Amino acid sequence: MVRDQLVGDISNTTTMLVEDNIDSTTMPVDDIARTHTMASSNNTTSHQSTEWTCLTSLDTHVDTGKVSSQTDIICVQGYNVKKSVAPILESIFNKHGDIAAECVFKPVSMRSSFLEIVCEVVGRIQTNNDIDNIEEIEQQVLATEAANINVSWLRAHLDVIRKRKEASTKCSLLMETKVNTVLVKKAAQMDLRERCVELMSAQERFEEAERCVRVLHLVENNLKDRILESKGNIDSLARQPVL
């Protein structure tokens, strides 16, 4: 049911995209194909060598007083796509076959739009293997999967990229934690040194106090001995009668 809803949303969105592309160019894709077909019938020999690709050069025309130039469109195995993605689509077809053969949308123009999306995703992966906005690409691939475009081979690459991104994020968090740990460790070491200084100072004061107690103890014993000696002298010198 979710897939049917996705297909419906994609159909509406793709139709709007196709209509926008037709409005923004000077000649619809179907007219381009017909123009190319008429040209091919007039000059069959010059086009027989091209079985899988056909380049249509679009002319400029005047529309409400303005001149507009269309982007070159190339026919790759029956699909009209932008010239910029044609090499990628050729490589995909050569390796994986017609990935749009089982597409739920029958119009070739809509299939071509999905193929362009796939090619753009592949191009982004080829130019930047560490993609920042992997979520956006995941949504694009999900849309093509909902249209029954065969992108299982692309999904495997995205899974690897996502896992590498997750590992990179985890590594960054661990590095940040390590930096914070080093800062806390330095602060703890400074506190330890201060406590050690305080401890050494207290130890010195303790030893000094201990020496003072020992000295006073000796003084006390010495006084006791002298007192006893004095008492003995007093007793030995008994008072003699005067008369």
User: How confident is the model over 10-21, as a mean pLDDT?
Assistant: 46
pLDDT band at 168 (very low <50, low <70, confident <90, very high): confident
What is the reported pLDDT for 8? Answer: 52
Threshold 0.85, pTM exceeds: no
Sequence-distant (6+) residues with CB within 8 A of 117 are 140, 143, 144
User: How confident is the model over 149-153, as a mean pLDDT?
Assistant: 92
| Of 1 and 138, the one with more pLDDT | 138
101 pLDDT higher than 60: yes
Closest CA to 117 of 104, 132, 130, 136: 136
What confidence tens digit (pLDDT) does each residue in 213-228 have? 999 999 999 999 899 8
What confidence tens digit (pLDDT) does each residue in 54-93 have? 333 323 332 322 222 455 888 999 999 999 999 999 999 9
What is the reported pLDDT for 104? Answer: 93
Which range is least confidently modeled, 37-51, 101-115, 144-158?
37-51
Residue carrying the six token digits 């190319």: 36
Residue carrying the six token digits 């560490």: 130
User: How confident is the model over 147-154, as a mean pLDDT?
Assistant: 92
| Of 9 and 243, the one with more pLDDT | 243
Query: Domain extents for the chain?
Result: 2-150, 175-234
Q: Can you tell me the distance from the alpha carbon of 143 to that of 9, in angstroms, rounded to the nearest whole number? A: 9
What is the reported pLDDT for 122? Answer: 92
Q: Enter the tokens of residue 141.
A: 């691939």
Average pLDDT over the chain reads 74
| 3-state DSSP assignment of residue 121 | helix
Q: Can you tell me the distance from the alpha carbon of 53 to that of 56, in angstroms, rounded to the nearest whole number? A: 10
